[in-house]
Structure 1
Amino acid sequence: MPLVTMTVRKPKTAEFKDAVLNAVHDALVESGVPQADVFQRVLSLEEEDFRFDARYPDAQSDRNQDFVLIEILWSVGRSVKIKKKLLESLMNRLAAQGLNPENVMVVFKETSWENWSFAGGRLIHT
């Protein structure tokens, strides 16, 4: 049910994108998302189309060309505790891959259950 969107500046290798997306998915599974629930997309943008501040609001080092914006759209209802646990797991996984966690921004977006139609126009959560 989570829809993960990763936005990066071009160019990024398939290995870079796989490492980040796999880390996100593994952290989501650890937080209770089913293993088979994989819906991910990558937006690779030119520098002029993906702008960001190097330090806003509390980055401890400058963001660089490997900055990653991760948006997780999922159903409403997860606690702050679950989100913090997911973030900790994700940052540890990314750091293990050699990506500086200060270069990663995560945005959680929540929607109600009745806003998902997974296939065929069926609203299975209504």
Structure 2
Amino acid sequence: MPLVTITVRRPKTSEFKSKVFDAIHGALISTGVPVDDLFQRVLELNEEDFRFDQRYPDATQNRDENFVLIEILWSVGRSVKVKKKLLESLMQGLTAQNLDPENVMVVFKETTWENWSFAGGRLIHT
């Protein structure tokens, strides 16, 4: 169950956020995540609350007000190959939505299965 957090500068339209959500979910599905495993949130921050460098470390062009930080929290054990596949699919999905992949940063965070309680306080993977 990936938990996705998207951080952007406000204001962003519903359409912009939906395009990002859809690209991410499509990329997750391409790596084997079930279609109905959908847990995503967006944090819209004021400019003074969300600072970022325009080029660090290897952006080919300046990041702008549409910069998107994507954090994917998921269970430990996915290979670098799977992560690369997700990134490739995500960048293709963003491009298809007319969003610039150079304006997107992705961070993977991993946790062990016993750290997930999906509902009712049950630890189903212990």
Pick the TM interval, shorter chain. over 0.9
d(CA) in 1 for partners of 2:25 and 2:87?
A: 12
d(CA) in 1 for partners of 2:34 and 2:69?
A: 23
1:100 equivalent in alignment to 2:100: yes
Q: Over residues 66-121 of structure 1, what are the superposed CA-to-partner deviations in whole Å (9 max), with x where a residue is unaligned? A: 00000000000000000001000000110111111100000000000000000000
- How far residue 45 of structure 1 moved from its aligned partner, in angstroms, is 0.2
> Which residue is 1:45 aligned to?
45
d(CA) in 2 for partners of 1:85 and 1:104?
A: 16
1:12 equivalent in alignment to 2:2: no
In structure 1, stretches of 5+ residues that fail to align are none
Q: Percent same amino acid at aligned positions?
A: 75
The 3-state SS of whatever aligns with 1:52 is coil
Alignment of 1:55-94 (within 5 A): 55-94=55-94
Let me know the Cα RMSD of the aligned residues. 0.4
Q: Over residues 32-80 of structure 1, what are the superposed CA-to-partner deviations in whole Å (9 max), with x where a residue is unaligned? A: 0000000011000000000000000000000000000000000000000
- The TM-score, its normalising length taken from structure 2, stands at 0.99
Q: Which 4+ residue blocks in structure 1 deviate beyond 2 angstroms?
A: none
- Report how many residues are paired: 126
d(CA) in 1 for partners of 2:4 and 2:73?
A: 6
d(CA) in 2 for partners of 1:95 and 1:47?
A: 25
> Which residue is 1:22 aligned to?
22
Letter in 1 for 2:44: S
d(CA) in 1 for partners of 2:93 and 2:71?
A: 17
- The TM-score, its normalising length taken from structure 1, stands at 0.99
In structure 2, stretches of 5+ residues that fail to align are none
